[in-house]
Amino acid sequence: MIANAFPYGGTGWSLLEQGEINPKTLELDLQGYLIANPAGEALPDLYSWQQAIDKLQALTGVIIEQQ
């Protein structure tokens, strides 16, 4: 299941939360993040948050300061 999406600056690329709803808590059990290109197609791999940021920096050449 895809949950929240986070745009990566103005690049058109996005990070998508991937997980499953826990039936006991009704919360998302986060498995990792997918990366979607500007056309909305997700790359096949699942990443940690930092791995996804590193991959997006490599793909786009854009470095965004994290807070």
Q: Is residue 66 part of a domain?
A: no
User: What would the pLDDT profile of 1-59 be if each residue is shown by its tens digit?
Assistant: 889 999 999 999 999 999 999 999 999 999 999 999 999 999 999 999 999 999 999 99
Look at residue 67 and tell me whether its pLDDT is greater than 60: no
Q: Using an 8 Å Cβ cutoff, are 35 and 56 in contact?
A: yes
CB contact set of 47 (below 8 Å; sequence gap of 6+): 32, 33, 34, 35, 55
Q: Is residue 12 part of a domain?
A: yes
Give the pLDDT of residue 65. 80
Q: What angle do CA 16, 55, 58 make, to 5 degrees?
A: 135
C-alpha 6/C-alpha 35 separation (Å) is 10
Q: Is residue 65 part of a domain?
A: no
Per the structure, the complete domain to which residue 18 belongs is given by 2-60
Q: Using an 8 Å Cβ cutoff, are 18 and 2 in contact?
A: yes
Q: Is residue 51 part of a domain?
A: yes
pTM of the model: 0.88
